[in-house]
Amino acid sequence: MNTQVAQITAGRGPAAHEIRDQIVAAATEHFSHYGYEKTTVSDLAKAIGFSKAYVYKFFESKQAIGEMICGNCLAKIEGEIQQAVEGVDQPAEKLRRMFKASVEASQRLFFQDRKLYEIAESAAAERWQPVLAYENRLRSSLQEILQQGRDCGDFERKTPLDEATNAVYLVLRPYLNPLMLQYSLEYIEQAPALLSSLVLRSLSP
């Protein structure tokens, strides 16, 4: 029996979430070399020095590991967006920065590693749970900025908030979804400024 399994069984040693993190870190490394699609859980377990049964103790499938990696990537993108709007008071400026940061971070993190991009692709195509949650959080952030702008009189209030939010989200969506983003790389320099300016004109009272 592997030392770590023995420790877990005995109730000592690293907590389950630490082992999960360890497996995810090793799997990220492995997938980035050999690709996500072609790797099986057996390959992965072997390569990272765990038994297949041990990996299955913590993850029910390869997709479950992929979902953690995908979630980590999306969390990094969200962190960068967060950082970009932090301390900004003006809703218009917040929106501009949100467009810029989300497009730039998506491009960098989805495409930094061609092999890991396979995970982003599967996640987006199969609508994995972390993707749905991420999209909902981004939509909420947009709605919050719109509400703020309405409250302080910077943005118009005639359009129903839901409608305005959905429309702005649709404008940004092609740059958040990696499957679509790959076909917009030639516009990536100009798109955030052009689109956020258009959106801000649409929000003027």
Please tell me whether residue 163 binds a second copy under the rule CB under 8 A.
yes
Cα→Cα distances 99→8, 62, 140, 152, Å: 45, 33, 14, 21
Q: Which is nearer to a second copy, 75 or 167 (CB)?
A: 167
Closest distance of CB 157 from a second copy, Å: 12
Q: Which is nearer to a second copy, 88 or 171 (CB)?
A: 171
- Of 16, 133, 167, 185, which one interacts with a second copy (CB under 8 A)? 167
Please tell me whether residue 156 binds a second copy under the rule CB under 8 A.
yes
Please tell me whether residue 55 binds a second copy under the rule CB under 8 A.
no
Tell me, rounded to whole angstroms, the distance of Cα 144 from its chain centroid: 19
Q: Which is nearer to a second copy, 47 or 171 (CB)?
A: 171
Cα→Cα distances 124→64, 135, 148, 152, 176, Å: 15, 11, 30, 36, 10
Q: Which two tokens stand for residue 31?
A: 């997938």
What angle do helix axes 91-111 and 191-203 make, rounded to 10 degrees? 150
Q: Which helix (H) or strand (E) holds 57?
A: helix 52-58
Closest distance of CB 163 from a second copy, Å: 7
Please tell me whether residue 203 binds a second copy under the rule CB under 8 A.
yes
Q: Which stretch binds a second copy (CB under 8 A): 11-19, 57-65, 92-100, 156-164?
A: 156-164
- CB distance 130 to 67 below 8 Å: yes
Please tell me whether residue 166 binds a second copy under the rule CB under 8 A.
yes
Q: Which stretch binds a second copy (CB under 8 A): 28-36, 39-47, 79-87, 162-170?
A: 162-170
| Helix then strand then coil, % of the chain, to nearest 5 | 75, 0, 25
Binding string, residues 107-146; x marks residues near a second copy by CB under 8 A: -----------------x----------------------
Q: Which residue has tokens 């991420």?
A: 134
CA angle 4, 10, 14 (to 5 degrees): 45
Q: Which stretch binds a second copy (CB under 8 A): 12-20, 43-51, 77-85, 194-202?
A: 194-202
- CB distance 34 to 62 below 8 Å: no
- Concatenated DSSP letters for 123-142? HHHTT-HHHHHHHHHHHHHH
Q: Given the rule CB under 8 A, which residues bind a second copy?
A: 124, 156, 159, 163-164, 166-168, 170-171, 173-174, 177, 179-180, 183-184, 187, 190-191, 194-195, 197-199, 201-203
